[in-house]
Amino acid sequence: MEAAQAGAVERKQITPSKEKKEHALATRSGSKRRQEAARRKPGNSLMEPAETLRDYHRLMVRIRVFEGLSMRAFRSGLAGGYLHVYNGMEGTAVGWLSCVREGDPIIAAYRDHGYALILGMDPVDVMAEIMGRARGVSRGKGGSMHLYSAEHSFYGGWAIVGGHTAMGVGLAFATKYRGGDEVTHLFFGDGAANAGVLYESMNMASLWDLPVVFILENNEIAMGTRLEYHAADTHMHNRAEGFNIEHERIDGMNVLHVRKDALRIIDHVRKTQRPYFVEIMSFRFEGHGAADHDRSLYRSKEEEKEAGKRDPILLLEQYMLETGVMIEGDIKVVWKDVEQEMERAYKEAADMPKPEPHEVYENVYTDILPEEGH
C-alpha cells in the first residue's frame, strides 16, 4: 500500500506542465483537421462502390468478433503466452491494407490478428496458432504475437517493442537490391516510436532511398502510459523531420479516409522510391493486453465513451444506412453470419492437436538436437 502511494506521489511530481497538458488534449481530440474528419460521415469525401463498402464492413466485423473469441481463448486457458486485441483500430488496417499491391511486404508488432485476417489468412489457422495447435500459421510455436505467412507477404507479428522496425527496413532494402517496385508497409505503435532502433532504421532508409512506409498506429496509450507522459512532442510524425523523410498525421477511425490517404501515400512512395512516415491516430477500446483489466489507471470512462462515438464500424454502418447501401436488417445478418463463422473456427481450432514434442526442434535457427550436443 505504501509503495502504491509512493508511486502515486512520484507520478504527481512529473505531471506535465499546463501548456503540455493542453497540447496533449488537442492531440487526443485531434488537430482541427482530425476533428473535422471525425465529424464527417464516412464517404462524404470519397465514394466507393456499394459492394466494396460491404466488404470493408464485413472485414472490420470479422476482426472485432475474432478478437472477442481470442480473448475468450486466453481467459479460458486455451491460449498460451500473451495476447493483444485490435478492437477500435480496425479502420486503420482495413483502410490501409485495401491499398497494398500483391507482393508488397507487410510487417507489424504483436497486435497482429487483424492484419492476418485482412490479408486472407484462414481464421481457423490463425486461431489455431493463438491456441498453440500444430495447424497454426507458425505451426503452433509462435502464438498470438508471432503470426506469419510468406504466402500472404506477411512477415510477422513481432513481440520485441520496436525491434521489428529494422527488419521492415531490411525488407525494403531487399526490394531495392532485387530491383523490384514493391513498397514495404511497416506498422508499429506509439510506444515503439521511442525505441532507438527505429531512428537508426529511419536514417538508413533515408540514406539509401528505400521504399518503406513507417506506419505509426498511435492509439495514444503506450501500454498504460499516456501519450503526453512519454512523448516530448505529442505529434510524433515530426520525428521524421530530422531524417529528411516526408511525414504527416491522418485520422485512423474512418476506414474510407484512411484508404484515401493510403492510396496517395503508397503511390507516392512507389514512384519516388523514398521512405514516408505517417502517424495514424486511433483508439484501442480494450486494454493493452488480455490481462489489462483496469483501464481506469490511465484513462477515464468519459474518454472511452467519447471515443466510442468514433467506432470505425459504427461510422461505416451509419454511412451505409444513410446512403441506402444497407438497411438495419442487412447489418444484423452480417454480424450473425460472422459470429457463426468465427465460433466454428474457434471450435475447430480448439479440437486440433498440439505439435508433437520432437517438433520443437524443427523450423528453428539450428538443426542441432540436444542429445547430439554441440
Asked if 257 and 227 touch (Cβ cutoff 8 Å), the reply is: no
- Looking up cell 467519447 gives 306
SS3 label, residue 175 = helix
DSSP, collapsed to helix, strand or coil, labels residue 130 as helix
Answer yes or no: is 59 within a domain: no
In a domain, 357, yes or no: no
Question: How far is CA 257 from its chain centroid?
Answer: 17
Confirm whether 162 is domain-assigned: yes
Structural domain for 128, as ranges: 64-292+299-348
Write out pLDDT tens, residues 43-96.
444 479 999 999 999 999 999 999 999 999 999 999 988 999 989 999 999 999
Q: How far is it, in rounded angstroms, from Cα 163 to Cα 168? A: 9
Are 241 and 247 in contact by the 8 Å Cβ rule? The answer is yes
- What crossing angle do the helices spanning 255-272 and 312-323 adopt, rounded to 10°? 110
- As to burial, measured by CB atoms within 10 angstroms (0-12 exposed, 13-18 middle, 19+ buried), residue 242 is exposed
* The pLDDT of residue 258 is above 70: yes
152 within some domain: yes
- Is 104 within the bounds of a domain? yes
**Is residue 7 in a domain?**
no
Task: Count structural domains, the chain.
Answer: 1
Domain for residue 312, yes or no? yes
Q: Is residue 248 part of a domain?
A: yes
Radius of gyration of the chain (CA): 21
The rounded distance, in Å, linking the Cα atoms of 42 and 46 is 8
Nearest to 89 by CA among 280, 327, 278, 337: 280
Q: Determine the length of the chain.
A: 374
- State the CATH number of the domain containing residue 132: 3.40.50.970
Antiparallel, parallel or unpaired: β 184-189 and 106-107: parallel
Q: Answer yes or no: is pLDDT of 38 > 90.
A: no
Helices 50-75 and 328-350: crossing angle, nearest 10°?
A: 40
Indicate the pLDDT class of residue 367, thresholds 50, 70 and 90: low
Q: CB–CB of 355/138 below 8 Å?
A: no
Integer Cα distance of 327 and 338 in angstroms: 17
Cβ-count burial of 238 within 10 angstroms (0-12 exposed, 13-18 middle, 19+ buried)?
Answer: middle
Q: Are 15 and 215 in contact (CB under 8 A)?
A: no
Report the percentage of the chain scoring pLDDT > 70.
85
The DSSP H or E segment spanning 221 is: strand 221-222
Q: Tell me the pLDDT tens digit for each residue of 92-120.
A: 999 999 999 999 999 999 999 999 999 99
50-75 vs 312-323: helix crossing angle, rounded to 10: 150
Query: What pLDDT, in 10s, does the model give residues 221-257?
Result: 889 888 888 988 889 899 999 999 999 999 999 999 9
Relative to beta strand 225-226, strand 221-222 is: antiparallel
User: 216 is written with which cell numbers?
Assistant: 505509426
